[in-house]
Amino acid sequence: MVAQGSNGQEVGEQIWQIVNQIHPSNSYICATGELEDCFLVDPGTDVEAIDVALAGLGLKPSRIFCTHGHFDHVGSALFFQEKYGAACFLHSGDQKTMRGSNFLMMAFKIPFLMKMPKTEVLEGFSAILGGRELRSVDAPGHTPGSCIVQYGNALFTGDTLYTRGVGLSKLPGGNSEQLKATLLGLWNSFPTDALVFPGHGECGALATIKTENTALLDFLGLRALPGSEE
């Protein structure tokens, strides 16, 4: 079981969580075990907090993975791309979502201006990092190009899957029926010991989510999903 972490606190094996304060979202640093190498997942709006955590850990990101294109998941990607030369990956279906980030922040009255990173295609991505496979899994619904990033038994789920509650699907590009189909289709696709590191809220075990996230079960129209333990 993984406990919730505060800024820069380890929440999994060589995984650290930073909770962005300008707009609450989770960013993650994950060390690969190869010298100073690490990757970032969903670098949000608090550039300094993420960079201070990197410096404190003695890590330098070589890759950035954005689970989707909303500003709170890609907002500081360009900074780390330029400072560390990190490649940034985003699903091609979320380019429009990313380009609309500043408009969305204006609508929410969030005091942050985002500059767009240069991105590479995330869909179909697979690589061995530090002896473990990292792969992207298409998970449309929250946005057209939402993905889950799987690294060993760690699942970085963005706004597709939370430990509590259900991801929003009412923002531009969101589709609740597609999100439901995605979750049902992926329900038994991951290891039984998988740990979920979501874009918002606490981290937790997938097995626990399947049995205790009642809001999710209700959203899917079931109290017990295929593969859930009674």
pLDDT at position 2 is: 34
The stretch 49-65 carries a mean pLDDT of: 97
Q: Grade residue 226 by pLDDT with cuts at 50, 70 and 90.
A: low
Q: Which of 129, 168, 210 is nearest to 25 (CA)?
A: 168
What fold does the segment set 9-219 form as a domain? Metallo-beta-lactamase; Chain A (3.60.15)
Helices (H) and strands (E) in the chain, counts: 8, 13
pLDDT above 50: residue 65: yes
Is the sign of the CA dihedral 210, 168, 8, 91 positive or negative? positive
Count CA atoms closer than 13 A to 149's CA, side-chain side.
29
Are 119 and 88 contacting, i.e. CB atoms less than 8 angstroms apart? yes
Query: What integer is the mean pLDDT of 28-45?
Result: 97
Would you place residue 221 in the very low, low, confident or very high pLDDT band (cuts 50, 70, 90)? confident
The tokens of 2 are what?
A: 């993984």
Q: In which band, very low, low, confident or very high, does the pLDDT at 4 lie, cut at 50, 70 and 90?
A: very low
The full set of domain ranges for the chain reads: 9-219
Closest CA to 65 of 98, 28, 99: 28
User: What average pLDDT does range 105-123 have in this prediction?
Assistant: 92
Query: Are 39 and 64 in contact, with CB atoms under 8 Å apart?
Result: yes
| Alpha carbon separation from 52 to 18, 25, 145 (Å, rounded) | 10, 17, 30
Predicted model pTM: 0.92
The residue to which tokens 């999100």 are assigned: 179
Query: Tokens at residue 109, please?
Result: 């009255």
Residues 7, 26: Cα–Cα separation, whole Å: 9
Give the mean pLDDT of the chain.
91
Identify residue 148 by its one-letter amino acid code: I
**Among 83-92, 160-169, 188-197, whose mean pLDDT is lowest?**
160-169
Measured CA to CA, the distance from residue 117 to residue 23 in angstroms comes to 19
pLDDT at 3 over 50: no
Is the distance from CB of 181 to CB of 220 less than 8 angstroms? no
> What pLDDT score was predicted for residue 5?
39
Please name the residue that has the structure tokens 């929250």.
Answer: 142
Q: What is the pLDDT of residue 212?
A: 93
Q: Classify burial at 145, counting beta carbons within 10 Å of its beta carbon; exposed 0-12, middle 13-18, buried 19 or more.
A: buried
pLDDT at 170: 74
CB 54 within 8 A of CB 61: yes
Collapsing DSSP to helix, strand or coil, 92 comes out as: helix
